[in-house]
Amino acid sequence: MIKILDFWAEWCYPCKIMEPVLDEVEKELQGRLTIEKINVDENPQKSQEFGVMSIPTYVVLKDDKEVDRLIGATSADNFAKFVKKNIPQE
């Protein structure tokens, strides 16, 4: 199973646009990934640990190691492709 770290902030408009996209992908791939939402204003240490310079930023972890990263808002199709390419095929 992979984990996606979703770095966001309450005031970030692109982050708000991506919320339903993340919800849909998480529902579609339930049991194959988890999404951890990290508010950069409330958790600056985690943001610094992952070198997050702009939001939204999505970090894909496999076995607690970063394997991919996407920065900025994108279409639902592009986000789904980004996520699916990082999930092992059954």
**Annotation marks residue 78 as catalytic:** no
How far apart (Å, rounded) are the C-alpha atoms in residues 19 and 31? 19
Do 16 and 56 touch, CB atoms closer than 8 A?
Answer: no
How far apart (Å, rounded) are the C-alpha atoms in residues 30 and 47? 26
Selected catalytic residue, list 2, 4, 5, 12: 12
8 dihedral zone (left: phi>0; alpha: psi -120 to 50; beta) = beta
Selected catalytic residue, list 4, 5, 15, 52: 15
**Annotation marks residue 41 as catalytic:** no
- The residues annotated with a catalytic role in the active site are 12, 15
